[in-house]
Amino acid sequence: MEDKLKEYLSENNLNIFEPHSGHEDRFLRKLERETVQKKHFSWKWLPVAASILLVLGFYLGSNHQKNQYDMTDISPKMAETQHFFISTINQELKEIEQYRNINTEHIIEDALDQIEELEDKYNNFKKDLKHIGNEHEVIQGMIANYQQRLKVLEHLLFQLELLKKPTKYNNEFDEVI
């Protein structure tokens, strides 16, 4: 092993000489220049900035909620109606997810696109409700929108059930048995 080390050292010309005079001084000057050039980063202002952002976020969030006007703001009965529709729609969506597979993906996505369009229309009703007020037509439009969403989901469930069990549908009488 010792022979291999001596052989390696003799074959490779390693610089074993002393550095030039003043090398240490030049090295220390460069080192000092780099430390002076680096900017000192202070973490003292970070909690203040975080506090300002937090307060600003709460303000903007509460302001945004004040600008939202929905059926729940009209009356407790309207809030109950909206809760009924939302819970029924969510229940239907959970049931639809059980049918999701490669064969049904296209049908489900088409129906969900229709639901998204209806949600966009509902958001327009919310804007109208804020600007116009408790107009009977706007409220009726909102309720009709929820009803349309349920019809789309019920029709989708019917189609999915037909795909799952086509023998359940009696072509002779055109009714579900």
What are the C-alpha distances in Å from 158 to residues 3, 86, 99, 114, 174? 87, 20, 11, 16, 13
Query: Phi and psi (nearest 5°) for 88?
Result: -65, -45
pLDDT tens digits for 92-150? Answer: 888 888 888 888 888 888 888 998 999 999 888 888 777 776 677 888 888 899 999 99
162 vs 168: CA distance, rounded Å: 7
- Coil, helix or strand for 143? helix
- 43-55, pLDDT tens digit by residue? 666 666 666 777 7
- How many angstroms separate the most distant Cα atoms in the chain? 107
Q: Please tell me the pTM assigned to this model.
A: 0.54
Contact 78, 139 (CB under 8 A): yes
d(CA 126, CA 142): 8
